[in-house]
């Protein structure tokens, strides 16, 4: 009942997801990176960018007044949430099955500056020592585990919102 009434207002759903994305980024950057002192690995950086893009697409969907526009932004947000979930799942797998040689290599920017993109992208997803390290947990889950869960939640909520017939006139 509550979920049904929330999903009936797609602009609010998209705005709420954008706010949650911003809050998660603030937590990761302001607290985990600047207070706790955790440096993000290449896969964390990719997940961070995926979260930024999901938030931006949801914000654009929330600001759209035409049904076709917010549906398009919503689909793009689902695609990016899927990419973020894939990256988080891969990092979780690396944490559960750490590689024999613990070396994550350079950060994402260093890889892109030093290597052509076709070589840098596989290096990012190969992971290594830092990507498989578990430096912080909450309720038994690592940052990658929680990132995966949230990307899935975003994708499912957006898909449920997109599956509902659009109300006429468009409601906020």
Beta-carbon count within 10 A of 141 CB: 15
Domain with 42 in it: 2-163
Please write the tens of the pLDDT for every residue from 99-155.
665 545 455 555 666 777 667 666 655 544 466 565 655 566 677 887 898 899 999
The C-alpha atoms of residue 88 and residue 106 are separated, in whole angstroms, by: 19
The C-alpha atoms of residue 26 and residue 62 are separated, in whole angstroms, by: 20
149 occurs within a structural domain:
yes
159 occurs within a structural domain:
yes
Q: H helices within the chain, ranges in order?
A: 2-7, 10-26, 42-63, 67-96, 108-114, 117-126, 129-132, 143-163
Structure confidence at residue 145 (pLDDT): 85
What does the longest C-alpha to C-alpha distance in the chain come to? 59
158 occurs within a structural domain:
yes
55 occurs within a structural domain:
yes
Q: How many domains does the chain have?
A: 1
Do 52 and 155 touch, CB atoms closer than 8 A?
A: no
pTM value is: 0.70
168 occurs within a structural domain:
no
117 occurs within a structural domain:
yes
């Amino acid at each position: 009942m509550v979920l049904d009434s929330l999903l009936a207002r797609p602009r609010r759903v998209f705005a709420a997801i954008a706010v949650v994305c911003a809050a998660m980024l603030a937590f990761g950057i302001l607290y985990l990176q600047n207070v706790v002192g955790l440096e993000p690995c290449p896969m964390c950086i990719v997940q961070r960018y995926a979260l930024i893009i999901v938030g931006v697409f949801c914000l654009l969907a929330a600001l759209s007044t035409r049904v076709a526009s917010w549906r398009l932004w919503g689909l793009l947000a689902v695609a990016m949430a899927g990419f973020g979930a894939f990256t988080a799942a891969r990092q979780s797998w690396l944490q559960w099955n750490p590689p024999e040689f613990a070396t994550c290599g350079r950060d994402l920017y260093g890889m892109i500056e030093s290597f052509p993109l076709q070589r840098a992208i596989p290096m990012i997803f190969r992971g290594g020592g830092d990507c498989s390290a578990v430096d912080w947990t909450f309720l038994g889950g690592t940052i990658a585990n929680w990132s995966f869960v949230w990307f899935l939640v975003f994708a499912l909520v957006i898909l449920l919102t997109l599956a509902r017939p659009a109300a006429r006139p468009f409601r906020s």
